[in-house]
């Protein structure tokens, strides 16, 4: 099969995007938690 004819496999992307999706969600929530706990204050953020 030629390169241009190779179909995308759903799992090719799903596996990575799922991780990225969760990672972004967790990073966002951790940053929010750090703000709520007072670990990150407006003065510390440039």
Partner 1 sequence: MSAADRTADETVPAAAAPAAPAPGSPAPPAPEPAPPTKASPAWTLAGLAVVVLLAWLVSVLTDQVPELTAGTWFGNIAESIEYPVYAIALGFAGNTVLSATGVRRRMAAAFRTEFFIKIGLVLLGATVNFAIVVRAAGPAVLQAVLLITVVFLFTWWFAGLLGLDDKLRALLATALSICGVSAAVAAAGAVEAKKEQLAYTATLVIVFAVPSIFLLPWLANLMGLSPAVTGAWIGGNIDTTAAVTAAGAVAGEQPLQIASIVKVTQNALLGVVAVLLSLYFSLRVASSAPAEQGRRFGDRSTLAVIWSRFPKFVLGFLLASVVATVLAESLPEAVLEPRLDAAKELQTWALTLAFVAIGLEFNASSVREAGWKPILVFAAATLVNLVVGLGLAVLLFRGFTF
DSSP 25: H
Number of residues that bind partner 1 (CB under 8 A): 39
Per-residue string for binding with partner 1, 1-40, x by CB under 8 A? Answer: xxxxxxxxxxxxxxxxxx-xxxxxxxxxx-xx--xx-x-x
Minimal distance, residue 21 CB to partner 1, in Å: 4
d(CA 46, CA 42): 8
30: tokens are: 């951790």
List phi, psi (to 5°) of 10.
Answer: -50, -40
Q: Which residues bind partner 1 (CB under 8 A)?
A: 1-18, 20-29, 31-32, 35-36, 38, 40-42, 44-46
């Amino acid at each position: 099969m030629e390169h241009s004819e190779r179909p995308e496999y759903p799992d090719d992307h799903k596996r990575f995007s799922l991780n990225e999706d969760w990672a972004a969600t967790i990073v966002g929530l951790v940053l929010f938690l750090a703000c709520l706990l007072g670990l990150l204050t407006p003065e510390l953020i440039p």
